[in-house]
Amino acid sequence: MHLVPEQVKRSYRSPLREESARRTRAAIREAATALFVEQGYVRTTVKEIAATAGVALRTVHAAFPGGKAEIFHEALDVATAGDEEPVAVADRPAFVAALEDPDRLLPELARQGTELLERAGRLLAACQGSSGADADMRELDDLGARTMSANMRTVAEAMERHGLLTVPVDEAADVLLTLCSPQVHDLLRHRRGWSPEHYAAWLERSLALLLCTPPDREGRQVFSGPPQRP
């Protein structure tokens, strides 16, 4: 005989237990991120993730039934967005607001893009580096490439709408995709040792020069400051 109705038992929630589970999940995710960046996705095992996080192997399996692929997916989602909210970057208020403000579009793109790559750039590199050997990573890398391309196209179209572009929108989208890429960020930040501030300032100047500066009579583009609206 049940003393507590089934409906009551199912609706019971423990805030302390939920918070503990959230912290455990975050610890697993952070430990996995460090391992993925250090040694790649393929070489990293769930057993290593558990040991690095300081939890039992069964705890990892309970938190992430989908295994290593699920851990990587969530780690990348959180790193890309900057929090655990299930909202795509393109739908976030800061990104949407930047598209509507022609005076802040490039500065905000450079700032937000730098912050995103500081959080997620090396995970994106790990994903790409493992895409040839793992089907999950190949699918995720392809999805990321399509998403990035679509987002940069959205930015290019917003710049065209505000009258900022001096090049065709297709070319602008390709330039944005190239200069804002994880590969360029990794080259300048980690291989050449630039600071995040230096990288963000360079990115803003370079995009303004290539996309917003009219060429002179010899076809050269000479940067003379941020783009001005007509």
Q: What is the pLDDT along the chain (230 residues), one digit of tens a residue?
A: 444 455 545 555 678 888 888 999 999 999 999 999 999 999 999 999 999 999 999 999 999 999 999 999 999 999 999 888 888 888 999 999 999 999 999 999 999 999 999 999 999 999 999 999 999 999 999 999 999 999 999 999 999 999 999 999 999 999 999 999 999 999 999 999 999 999 999 999 999 999 998 765 555 555 555 444 43
| Fold classified for 19-86 | Tetracycline Repressor; domain 2 (1.10.357)
CA distances from 155 to 64, 109, 164, 194, 203 (A): 35, 9, 11, 25, 14
CATH code for 97-213? 1.10.357
Cα 219 from Cα 3, distance rounded (Å): 84
For residue 117, give the nearest of 143, 83, 79 by alpha carbon: 79
Question: Looking at 48-143, which runs of residues are DSSP E strands?
Answer: none
Global pTM? 0.82
Q: What does the block give as tokens for 9?
A: 């038992």
* C-beta of residue 204 within 8 angstroms of C-beta of residue 180: no
